[in-house]
Chains A and B, each alone.
Chain A
Amino acid sequence: MLTMATLVASITVFVLAIFLGFELISKVPPTLHTPLMSGANAISGITIVGALILSNSQFNSGDPGTASWLAFIALIMATINVVGGFMVTNKMLEMIAGKKRRGGK
């Protein structure tokens, strides 16, 4: 049951996290602009949690219903975002780090 108190608590978390996000990244070197963007984007795939909860529905009895199908599509999209996002970021960072080592010798 959602009450005024829990709502205000959630809004507090929301506002504080926005400030945290601003403070967290003060200066980013341009080389990291793309990896930071794709890494942050992978984290925004956290919506996968909601998709999982809503995908929990019976299939055996036939059609799980429109709502569950939508959750299923959401789950696929969120998983692509998460898995693909972290992998692609890792790929870029390895490339950048690899060059750095070789360049330093």
Chain B
Amino acid sequence: MMVDPVIWDVGYLVSAAMFILGIKRLSSPRTAPQGNRLGAYGMLLAVLVTLVKMYTDTEGIIGYELIVGGLAIGSLIGYVMATRVEMTEMPELVALFNGFGGGASALVGLSEVLKRLQNSNVPEPGVELYAIWVAIGLSGIVGWVTLTGSLMAMGKLRGGFYIPFTKKDDRGRRKWVRFPTWGPPWMNFVKGAILLACISLIGLTVQDPHNYDYIYSLVILSCLLGVLFVIPIGGADMPVVVSLLNSMSGIAAAFTGFVIGNNVLIIAGSMVGAAGLILTFIMCKAMNRTLMAVLFMSFGGGGRESVTRTKVGSDPEEVAMICDGITKCVIVPGYGMAVSQAQHAVKEFADLMEAQGVEISYGIHPVAGRMPGHMNVLLAEASVPYEQLIEMDDINSELPETDVALVIGANDTINPVARSGEGPLGGMPIIDVDKAGVVVIIKRSLSVGYAGVDNDLFFEDKTMMLFGDGKKMMNELNGAIKEL
């Protein structure tokens, strides 16, 4: 059956338009669910157009096994992962999906080049050869870096891993290893050298397209580059890294579009690339650091201040008494809330306070947690009303009239030293909890945060420290409030 091939391009165009509208609608709370569905339908359309196009082509579909098998296995795994995931594991899952997207693009490029070599379908030297080979090389570099970088980011988000086959301790756990963060200053030169080598390899493959060694070296070097790219970056900088990798997975797809000569890949990929980059800059701005500084200057590693002062911890009962009869309370969550999964206990506290007529709001720092919007997702899971989640700038104008600011597992994002403009935190926008009447901080210890800077706020007279695990302390506090 012969069909005018223009019809397929029209189909792809419609699907590209659906992606554009989908992303647009994803950026406003009211239209976001619709935007996501629009994107999904656009994807379905693109897949259907591709299948029908292949079916009606002169050659037709010559083998269904890999196509049907791949779609079925992928859908099943994707479905299971999406259904089983807990909200607390969301950062890892998003990082993993990013990696899969990049990896798929890289594999498509690799498969294309091998297939062309196998069928002796290498173009004569000219525009076609240069364009396709350079596109394959670039989608390879970006794709493999995205894959290995995302796997590293996933490890960092998880914090570490259990070594299999080691002896279990009395709690039935295997040996736990922290995920390493390691980056001596010379590492940047190594990364630069590897990147240069990768680019030179693309040049070499263009000159000698039949050389397999160049192709496989490019794969290995790009994978290595991804690992070295993420390993020096600490856990608290992961919001930047994850959104940058998201951007890169889009760029890789766009390059793959050049490889197979398909505009919908180019459009969708470069749009995702741009959107991810915007998010990356939002995250950098929230830390008052440049992208270059996050990526290439190891942070908070060497000059960590050691804490010599001490502070007497308070009891949950004391805090419960302070909270009795107040009118306004602001809750400021941080990574510690995510780690201890305290969001439901936090919501219970808010409900108890609201039952006494206390006005509750949440102050959300843009880089609190390990992923853009991490706190918002966790609190939404605990059924916190969306209206109570207040952005940093707006909550700061409310804090001077706040009776109690309750901080759960945050440190750098509330450190007043940032306002002084000096040191590693200098100039970073913070939530001004120190302006509140009483500051209650739930934290494991007085130790420094990610930036390695001591926090004066802990030692102020109006600050009450509740030392312990976030969830445990929240539950004890809730219990104490109920007993009053």
Contact = CB atoms under 8 A, between A and B. Distances in A.
Interface stretch (B63-71, B333-341, B430-438): B63-71
- Interface of B, secondary structure class, is helix
B242 interface: yes
B74 A76 contact: yes
Contact of A86 (B40, B110, B252, B277): B40
- How many B residues are at the interface, by size bracket? 35 or more
A37 B243 contact: yes
- How many A residues are at the interface, by size bracket? 35 or more
B435 to A, nearest CB: 21
B348 to A, nearest CB: 15
- Interface of A, secondary structure class, is helix
A65 B82 contact: no
A90 B37 CA distance: 8
Contact of A18 (B29, B75, B271): B271
B162 to A, nearest CB: 24
B376 to A, nearest CB: 4
A19 B357 CA distance: 49
Contacts of A10: 257-258, 261, 263, 266
A88 B223 CA distance: 27
B47 A50 contact: no
Contacts of A18: 270-271, 273-274
B270 A90 contact: no
Contact of B373 (A35, A55, A57): A35
B272 A80 contact: no
A58 B65 CA distance: 8
B278 interface: yes
A83 B372 contact: no
Contacts of B267: 13, 17
Given A85-B97, A90-B37, A80 B81 contact: yes
Query: What are the 8 closest A-B residue pairs judged by CB atoms, nearest first?
Result: A79-B74, A103-B385, A21-B274, A33-B373, A75-B70, A83-B78, A84-B78, A33-B372
